Amino acid sequence: MPEELHSLSAVELRNALRGGQVSAVEAAEHFLARIEERNPLLGAFITVTAEQAIEQARASDALHVRSRAGELPLLHGMPLAFKDLTDVAGVVTTHGSAALDHKPAPADAPLVAQLREAGAVSLGKTQVPEFGLTAYSENRIAPPSRNPHAPSRSSGGSSGGSAAAVAAGLVPLAPGTDGGGSVRIPAAACGLVGLKPGRGVVPSGESQGDPARLVVAGPLARTAADAALMMDALVPDSGHLAALEREPVKLRIGVTLDSPWSATFPFTPDQEALDALAAGERLLEHAGHTLGEAAIRYDNRYPDAFTTAWTAGVGSARISPHREVLLAPLTRTFRRRAQQRSPAKLSEALAFLRQFQHDTVAQYAEWDLMLMPALAQTPRPVGWFTGTGHGGERWPSAQWPGDADGDYRKQCEFAPWSSMINVCGLPAISLPVHWTGGTPGQGLPMGIQLVGPKGSEELLLQVGHQLGL
């Protein structure tokens, strides 16, 4: 079994670890070897913490000797990784930025502490965009994170390194954080299940410098069951995995292509995105659900208000003035604008977003779930958003193209159905339902997004499981 550990689902591996068929050290060594073999191509990891991982794994095995299986923590000995925006004690947190001093974190972030308590073993830190700001995971400190299904393509962002690691079998599952699509976008790009829980469901995954409370933690996994396992670790005693044994009721699902970005950045979905939507519709109808067209009206002031709230944190980040030149153009541009913005402007944007949430949730409530494509385009080539076209090599600061607004527009056209779900505080799931080559594993993965009402995380996972994902 140890030779094939990466082919097991996370649930299967969890059962093998708890049952003693596989030791935590065997699992850690297996996945560390996978990382050593495949990470040079994929750039999924910025930092690999092999020594700490083996030490944690030995402690897990010692606990197994002393304990009964039923007394072991939920993720006993489970290897995973944290995106490099999240502090792990004793490990450098880069935030994907060359402008920061890279010092080891003094303590675990709450998300890390939560998953350690659940028994997980961290193998390292995964690639992120600078401060998690973008829908691609490229920065100036390490090679970009590449898509395991097509290494010339991006794995998405901001949890792109974690998504690439899960999709390539470098870890069985991973937590991500999502403030504007940062779990769902890379999940869709890499052919994974990605769940964004509703606001407040996973308190340990919330972020400082987030005045609109956009950021939440959620699972990146290969199956709905694996995602449910991660949710049970993030929300103890919640029963997400057990809930998959129950069939969801027949649902009324509203289908829409409407986006709050359309007025500012008009876009046309790629045919591959429409094909994925059609595939999702067929699967849902075959499962007995009723689908209908939903026309959603969005206030066209949304893009400005969201951007104001989303970039507030980078404006207040502690960066030495003499090191700001090391920031990527997009970060530097939005940091300057945030610092020039008055507190009244931020308050006005937050007030608008609260009203936007009220209005949008009321429209969604006419349906049990909302359905839309996960992305409007196929996974983009590495360097496409920044205009580097450099194929993945790190560029000196002076040579990185500086069209921040063009970069941002491309991102909004790529993922136009993501950020408003964070503003509304609703749960949403990205499900891989289509491959551009026609059969699973051929071509590029494309997904759908299902959005549910408050408290529907179990239902979204049940629907994903029902569709065979």
Residues carrying an active site annotation: 83, 158, 182
> What is the spatial distance between Cα 377 and Cα 415, in angstroms, rounded to a whole number?
8
Does residue 463 contact residue 251 with C-beta atoms inside 8 Å? yes
Distance CA 275, CA 447 (A): 9
Candidates 83, 81, 109; CA nearest to 96 is 83
Q: Which long-range contacts (CB under 8 A, 24 or more apart) does 165-169 make?
A: 165/35, 165/42, 165/44, 165/45, 165/81, 165/126, 166/190, 166/192, 166/220, 166/221, 166/222, 167/191, 167/192, 167/222, 168/34, 168/38, 168/42, 168/44, 169/6, 169/7, 169/34
The rounded distance, in Å, linking the Cα atoms of 366 and 254 is 8
Pick left, alpha or beta for residue 347 (phi over 0 → left; psi -120 to 50 → alpha; otherwise beta): alpha
Residue 428 to residue 431: CA distance in whole angstroms: 10
What value, to the nearest 5°, has the Cα angle with vertex 167 and ends 39 and 159?
Answer: 80
Distances (CA, A) of 117 to 15, 29, 70, 72, 235: 18, 21, 15, 11, 12
5 phi/psi in degrees, rounded to 5: -60, -35
Task: Please tell me whether residue 35 adopts helix, strand or coil conformation.
Answer: helix
